[in-house]
Chains A and B, each alone.
Chain A
C-alpha cells in the first residue's frame, strides 16, 4: 500500500456512506421471494436425499430394512455403512479446531439420538422421505448418559474454541474469608438449539472433479478446503455459493456429516443431489448450546465492593468431541475484584456435539453472572445499578490491561434514564399494574469481545466512475450486504450506488468467518483497505502526471470523495477517477486489502463492546405466567456503520435473551436420550406476542485501538445482559429467585399470597 494518503487511524475521515441508516440493499430481493437460499436451487436431473436418524442415543444399529426402502417407488439408492464408498478423510480425525468429528456412516455405532444412520436418495422428496421411514432400524441400545448428577466430570484442555479453562487472579479464599458478607448460588441453563429459520441445506453437483455446492455457510473460503478434503480434491476445485443464509447463529460454520454424504451420493449417482434438514433434524447433528451448571462464590466488603468472585462452570459436551461452553469466562472482564477465579469442567453426554451458538459462553455465563450480581446487590442492600457502579472495572479484571474503549458508564446512565430506573423501589414485590399483576424491574450488564479475524478483499475502480468491490463475506441476516458495501464505498470514495458489491461466493477473496461478532470489522476492514489501496494506486498515477491538476501533490496528499481526487491543501483542484484512468490508458485499477488486528494493539488493550439492559416484567401473581413488558438496551460498540441495521441486530439479540430467560429448553427423555420437544411447537422460541415494547440506544463510543475503522460487533452482545435483566426483574416482581433457566409459570406459583 502507498502512504500517499496518510491519516492516523483515530482521526480517519469517512466518506458519506458509513454511519447512514440505509435500508437493506437486499431488501427488495428478500421481500419479493427472489432471494435465493440453498434449498431453492434445483439443477436439472436433481435427486432428493433424506437421512434416517437414530432413535437411540447410545448403542449400535443392527438392522436396516434396505430392501423395503429400495422397493418404494422412486427410491434410487440407499447409503449405509455397508455400501458407503470410501472418503478421503477420517471422520474421527481433527485436523484443525473448526473441524468437528462427525458421522458419515463410518460404522454402526450410535452416539446420539438423531444421528444419521443411512441416506436415502430418490427422484422425489416424498419418495426419499418414505424410503427413510421404511428402513425401520433395529438397535442394540445402551443406557444413555445425561444430566449433571452421577456423571463423571473431566478437566478440559480448553473451553470454547481454544480458550484456557482456568483463570485465577489474586486469592479467592482470602477474599472470601475477609468478606463482610458472602453470596453463594448455583444456576443451571439447559441445552438450547440454534433453530435458524432456514434448516441446513445443501445442493451438491459434480462436474468431473469439480464440485459446486449451494449451502449456507458462515466461513466460505475455509470451507472449500474442508469439503475438498473429504473427497481428495483441492480447495480450488470446490465452489460454494451462499448468497443468503436464513440465519446461522453459529450453526452454519461447521461441516456436518450429512453434507458430506450428500456430496458423496451426487458423486456415486453422477446427478445433483439436494438434502434439506427437517426441523426435528436440527436437534442433534448441527450443534447446540450445551447445558451448564454454574456455581458462584462472591465476597463483599461493607461498602458492597467485591472482595472475591469465583465462577465455576460444568458444561455438557458429547461423548466424542470436546466443545465446552466457556461460561465462566463471562466473569473475566466485567467487575473489579481483587480476587477472581473462573474455572470449567465438562461432562460427557450421549448427545450431538455442542458448538458455538450466538454468544457462546457469554450468553450462559452472563445469564448466571448477572443473576448472581443481582443477588449480591440485594445482599448488600444496594440498588443493582449502584452496586455495579461501585464495582465498575476501570481496567480489565482478568488481564489487567486497559480497555481500548469502554463507554459502559454512559450505557448505564442513558439506559437507566430512558427506562426510568431511578424510580425503582429497592425491595421486591413493591409494584403492581392497574390489573393487579406484579411488576418487576431488573437490569444486566452486557459485554462481548471485539475480535478480528483475517479477511481479504479486492477493489476495482473503473473508468466509468464506478467500482466493483468484493470479498467472500457472509450475510446471515446481520446486514452485511449493506454495511460491508457502505464501508467498501467509503474505501473507494464513491457513493454507494456507484459501487457494485460482490460477496457470498467462495471464488472471491477470502472474507473470513462470520462469527464472533467480528465479521463487519474484519471483512469491512479488508474492503475499506482494498478501496484505499486502489485509491492510492490511482493517486500515484495522478500526482506523477504533469497533465493532472494533482501533479506534484504527493507531499500534501489527496482526498478521495464522490469519485474524484482532491488536493488536500486545495480541494478546488481535483480530477475524476475516470479522467485519471483514461489519460493513463487504463480501463480500471485494482487494489487489495486485508482485515486483521494490528498485533501491537492486540497485546496492549482489552477490547469489548459493552451495554446495559433494563427489563420490566409482569407476572400474574396466581397463574405464574410472565410477560416482558419493556426492554431497554443501551450499547456502546465503537463506530456504528449502519444504525438501522445495528439496532435490528441488538433487538434480535435481546429477543434471544428473552427466549433464553423464559422459553428455550431442549427436554431429553432421560431413559431414551431422545429430545422430546424437537420441533417448534415444543421447543419454544419467542413469538411476536412475546415482544412488547423494546428500545435500543446506540451510545457514542470512539475506539481508537480496536481496528483502524473503530468498529466492534453487535451481533451477539444483545443476548448478554438481557437474560439476567429479565431474571432479575422476575425476582423483583415476585420475590422468588429462580436459578434454573428457563423461568416458567410453574416456578412462580409460590408468588400467590406471599406478602
Chain B
C-alpha cells in the first residue's frame, strides 16, 4: 500500500523534476556560451546560491506577499461565488448586474492600483483589495459556467420532489459546478499573485514586489532573480496544494 503510494508520488514528481533540470541546464549553458552578463541575466546556479544566502531578507517579503495574495484570493473567491449564487437565485440581478460586473472586471485590475493605494493606503489592505478584484471575476465566470452545466432534467426531477431553488443550488448545481469552480480558483490564484506584486511595486512598505523594485534600482540582479525564484516556488507550492484539494474534494468528475 505504502509502496504503491510512493510509486505514484514518484511517478508524478519525476517528470517535473526532470523538466526543471533540463530547463535549468539549457539556461546555464545559454548564459555561459552567450556570455550574458550577470546584471542582465544571472545563471541558475548563481541565482540558487544567492537565494540561499539572502533567504532571511527575502522570506520577510515573501511572508507579506503570500499573506496578501491568499487573503485577496479568499475574499475574491467568496465574492465571486456569492455573486454567482445570487445571480442564480435571483435572476433579475443577473440581467441587471452581470453586464456591470463584466464591464468593471474588464478593466485590468492594475488600472485600479492607483485608486486602491489612494483609498487603502500603502499597506497590505490595498494589495488584498486588488487581488480580490482580480480573482472574483475568474471565480464568478467559472461558477456561472459550472452552474449552467446542470441538466434541466435533473433540475425538474428535484423540483418534482418539492425542492426549492436554494436546495437545488446546494444539492445539485454547486456540486456539479465544482470542477469548473476549481479551474476558476486555479487561475484566480495565479492572477492574484501577479496583481499583488504589481501593486507592491508601485507603492508598498514590504513584500516581494518591493524587494524586486529596490534590487532593480540597486542593480542587484541576483536579488531580483532570487526573489522571483522564491516567490514562484511558493506560488507553485500553493498551486500544488490547490490541486491536492481538488483531487480530494472533487473526486468525482
Q: Do A and B bind each other?
A: no
